[in-house]
Homo-oligomer: A and B are copies of this chain.
Amino acid sequence: MPETTHRVTFEPDGRTVVVPDGRTLLEAAQAGGVVLEAPCGGNGTCGGCRVEIPDAPPEPSEACRTILSAEEIRRHLRLACQVRVHRDLRVVIPDEARRRDQQILTEGAAFDVPLIPNVRKRAVHVPPPSVTDQRADADRLLDALADAGLDGLTVPATVLREVPARLRRLEFHPAAVVVGREVVDLDRPTAADACYGLAVDVGTTTLVGYLVNLVTGEVAAVASRANPQATYGDDVIARIEYTGRERGGARTLQTLVVDALNEILTEACRRAHVKPAVVYEAVVVGNTTMNHLLLRLPVAAIARAPFVAASASAHSVGARSVGLKIHKRGRLYTGPLIAGFVGADTVGVILATGLHATDGLRLAIDIGTNGEIVLGTRERLLACSTAAGPALEGARIRYGMRAATGAIDRVDIEDGRLTIRTIGDAPPVGLCGTGLIDAVAVLVAAGVIDATGRMQAAEDVPGSPAMARRVHQADGERAFRLTEADAGRDVLLTQRDVREVQLAKGAIAAGVHLLLDAYGATLQDVQEVFLAGAFGNYVRPARAQAIGLLPDVPLEKVTFVGNAAGVGARMLLVNRNLRHVAADVARGVEHVELSRRPDFQVHFADAMLFPGV
C-alpha cells in the first residue's frame, strides 16, 4: 500500500512540502528547508518553533499548554514539534520564529603575521622534452619549480593523470598550484595571481567566513550565516543527542553545515569577483563538536563523562571529501583541539590575542554558545569551557533575536525614563545579546530586578511609576515591557530571560574564578582581559561588568577583540608555520574540567547573583 502523504504550505513564503502521514510540522519544515528555530531540538521545551495554524488547528498538546499562553493558543499558535500532520495544512510562521538577516561580527582584532601561506601558485617555464632530455613530465615540472625556489614537492597520482596533456596545452608554461608539498593543479600562467583561501570560524550558532587573497594576504570578502544545525538543538549537547537518537543524524548535521559553508564560499567569491575554483585551501576553527561533525568523526563520547574527543589533532583532508566546493583538489585544514569542550576556536583566540607569547598574566573570555576561558602566560596556559548557553546570542530568550534590523541593542534610563535604540532605527521586533545585557543591567540598577534576579511585582518597583507600569504578567510569568505601550508591537524581557542571562554570566564568572584558583592567582594579578565573541565589539563594557559578565577589573584593562577565533583562522591560513605553533599550544594548554571541581556549583550559584546593586 502506498504511503499516505499530505501537503504542508508554509506562509508567508508559500513553500509547499509533501510529507508522509504522521510527521511533525517541525520535520516537515526541516524536510522543506524552511528554517524554524528549535533550540531544544524538538523536545517541546523551548517554544522556539511556534507556528500559527489558521484553519482548524489541532488540540494543543500538554507541551503546547505548558509553553504557550492561553492567548497564544486562542490565536491558533502551536509548537511545530508537537503537531503531527494527518491532513493537508496551511501554516503561518510568525516573524519572531523565523531566522533573520543577521549582523554577525566579522571584524576581528588586527594582526600582522608574515605571509607564508600553505598555498602557492607560481608560473614557471618548463623545458619541453627532447631526445636529449627524456625526463618524465612530473620530473621536468618539479625541477622547474625547484629552480623557482619551490623544492621538495611531489605530484600525486591523481594530478599526474592530467599533467601531460595540461603541460602541452599550456605549451609548457603553466602556473603550478602547490598546496602543502603537493602540486594540485596547473593553471594558465596569466592566472598566477588568482590564488585564494577561505578561513572560517564554525561556531555552534554562527558561521563566519573570510575569503583571503593569498598573494597579498588581504581579506577580499566576508560572508556569514547562522549555523543551520541550530534547528536540531541550540547547543552542542542537544546536537550530539540528536545524532545518537536519529539514524543518519550526524550526516544530516554535516550536510547542513557544509551547505552553509558553501553558501558562504559562493557569496564571498561573488562579492570579490573570484571563482570558487581558485580557492585552494580552507582553514576551519571550531569547537570540538563542530570540528568532529564537519569531519564526520564520532561525537558520542564528547557528551558523556569523561568527555573525550575522537581526535584532538589538526587534520588536512581533501576539501571535497567533506563536501566543501573549493578547488576540486583543495584541502581543508582543521585546527587542533584542546579538549572535548575546548576546541580550535579557542586555539584561534589564543593565537589572535597572543596569550601563548605573553609575559604578564592575561585572561581571554570568548563568549559564544559555550563560554571558553583561557588564562596564563607564555609559560603556562589554563583553559576551561562553561555551558553559558546561547542566550547572549539571542537564543532561548522569549523575544531574543540576533543582531539584525529591528533588534533592540541599547537600553538606558534617562531622567527616570526608559529609552531604547534599535539596529537600523527600525521599529523594535526583538532583543539581541547586547540589548539583553543592557536591559538586565538597567533593570537591576533600577531595582526592577533584585540581587537574586527576581523581577519585582509592579507594586514593589521603586521610583518612577512609568517603570512600574511596564511590569505585568505575560503567559504565566512576570515580564517587563521594553517598548512603549503604543509601539504597535511589544518586546518583553521575561523572568525566564533574566534567569537565562544569570545562567550564562554565572557560568562564565564561576569559570574565571576557578581558573584563577587553579592557576594560583587573583584578579589583581591579571594585566589584561580580552573579551572575544560575536557581540564583543558592540557590548558596553560597563554594562557587562555591571551584571557580572566581565570580571571586576579596571576598564582600561579590558580589550575587545571581536571574533578572535576567526582572526586565528585567518592567521593559520596565511602562515602555515603557525600551524606548528597551534599544535604546540593545543598540546600545551592545561584543560580544567569544571565538572570535576567540587566547588564549581558553589561558585556558580554565587556568581548568578547580581551583587553589585
Give the interface of A toward B (CB within 8 A). Answer: 129-131, 133-139, 154-157, 160-161, 163-165, 295-298, 300-301, 305-313, 315, 317, 321, 337, 339-340, 591, 593, 595-596
Asked whether A295 and B157 contact (CB < 8 A) given A163-B310, A164-B301, A310-B163, the answer is yes
Q: Given the interface contacts A161-B297, A298-B164, does A596 sit within 8 Å of B131 by beta carbon?
A: yes
Taking the nearest CB of chain B, how far is it from the CB of A440, in angstroms? 34
In the bound complex, residues from chain B placing their C-beta under 8 Å from that of A138 are: 310-313
14 contacts between A and B (CB under 8 A): A129-B306, A131-B593, A131-B596, A134-B306, A135-B312, A136-B309, A136-B313, A138-B312, A154-B313, A155-B313, A157-B296, A157-B297, A161-B297, A164-B300
Chain B residues whose CB sits within 8 angstroms of the CB of A305 once the complex forms? 131
Residue of B nearest to A591 (CB): B134
A136 touches B310 (CB 8 A): yes
A154, A309, A317, A595 pick with most chain B CB within 10 angstroms: A309
- List of B residues within 8 angstroms of A312 by Cβ: 135-136, 138-139
| A340 and B139 contact, Cβ closer than 8 Å, known pairs A160-B297, A298-B161, A306-B129 | no
Q: Given that A295-B157, A311-B137 are known contacts, is A306 also in contact with B164, CB under 8 Å in the complex?
A: no
In the bound complex, residues from chain B placing their C-beta under 8 Å from that of A300 are 164
List, in ascending order, chain B residues with CB within 8 A of A130's CB: 306
Question: Bound complex: CA of A137 vs CA of B311, how far in Å?
Answer: 6
Knowing A129-B308, A160-B310 are in contact, say whether A337-B136 is a contact too (CB < 8 A). Answer: yes
Contact residues in B for A308 (Cβ distance below 8 Å): 129, 134-137
- Chain B residues near A165: list those with CB within 8 A: 298
Which residue of chain B has its CB nearest to the CB of A332?
B157
Given contact pairs A137-B301, A137-B311, A157-B297, a sample of 18 additional A-B residue pairs in the complex whose CB atoms are under 8 Å apart: A129-B306, A131-B593, A134-B308, A134-B340, A134-B593, A135-B312, A136-B311, A136-B313, A139-B312, A139-B313, A154-B313, A155-B313, A157-B296, A157-B315, A157-B317, A160-B295, A160-B311, A161-B310
Min CB distance A155 to B, Å, is 6
Chain B residues positioned under 8 Å from A591 (CB to CB): 134
Q: Please name all residues of chain B whose beta carbon is closer than 8 Å to the beta carbon of A295 when the two chains form the complex.
A: 157, 160
Tell me the smallest distance from the CB of A591 to a CB of chain B, in Å: 7
The smallest C-beta distance from A127 to any residue of chain B, in angstroms, reads 12
Least Cβ–Cβ distance between A115 and chain B, in angstroms = 27
Taken together as a complex, chains A and B put the C-alpha atoms of A114 and B593 apart, in Å, by 48
Which residues of the partner chain B approach A309 to less than 8 Å between Cβ atoms?
A: 136-137
A176 to chain B, nearest CB (A): 15
Write out the residue numbers on chain B whose beta carbons fall within 8 Å of the beta carbon of A337: 136
Closest Cβ neighbor of A299 among chain B residues: B164
A133 touches B306 (CB 8 A): yes
Chain B positions within 8 Å of A593 at CB level: 131, 134
Measured in the bound complex, the distance between the Cα atoms of B133 and A301 in whole Å is 13
- Residues from chain B with a CB closer than 8 A to the CB of A339 are 134
Q: Complex formed: what's the CA distance from A435 to B593 in Å?
A: 79
**Which B residue sits closest to A129, measured CB to CB?**
B308
CB distance from A581 to the nearest CB of B (A): 18
A311 cross-chain contacts in B, Cβ below 8 A: 136-139, 155, 157, 160, 163
A134:B307 contact, CB within 8 angstroms:
yes
Question: CA–CA, A155 to B311, complex, Å?
Answer: 8
Least CB distance from A143 to B in Å reads 12
The docked-state distance in angstroms from the alpha carbon of A312 to that of B305 is 52
Q: Which residues from chain B contact A156 at a C-beta distance below 8 Å? A: 315, 317
Cα of A139 to Cα of B583 in the assembled complex, Å: 13
A227 to B88, CA, bound (A): 64
Q: Which of A157, A317, A339 has the most CB of B within 10 A?
A: A157
A518 to chain B, nearest CB (A): 14
Distance from A202 Cβ to chain B, minimum over Cβ atoms (Å): 16
Which of A136, A137, A154, A160 gathers the greatest number of chain B CB atoms within 10 Å?
Answer: A136
Instruction: Verify A137–B306 contact, CB threshold 8 A.
Output: no
A137 to B80, CA, bound (A): 39
A298 to chain B: which residues have CB within 8 Å? 161, 163-165
Report how far A321 CA is from B157 CA in the complex, Å: 10
Q: What is the bound-complex CA distance between A161 and B293, given in angstroms?
A: 10
* Distance between Cα atoms of A315 and B156 in the complex (Å): 8
A585 to chain B, nearest CB (A): 15
- In the complex, A311 Cα to B154 Cα: how many Å? 10
A495 to B465, CA, bound (A): 122
User: 10 tightest A-B contacts by CB?
Assistant: A136-B312, A138-B311, A136-B309, A129-B308, A131-B306, A164-B298, A160-B311, A129-B306, A164-B310, A157-B317
Instruction: For the complex, give the distance between the alpha carbons of A154 and B315 in Å.
Output: 10
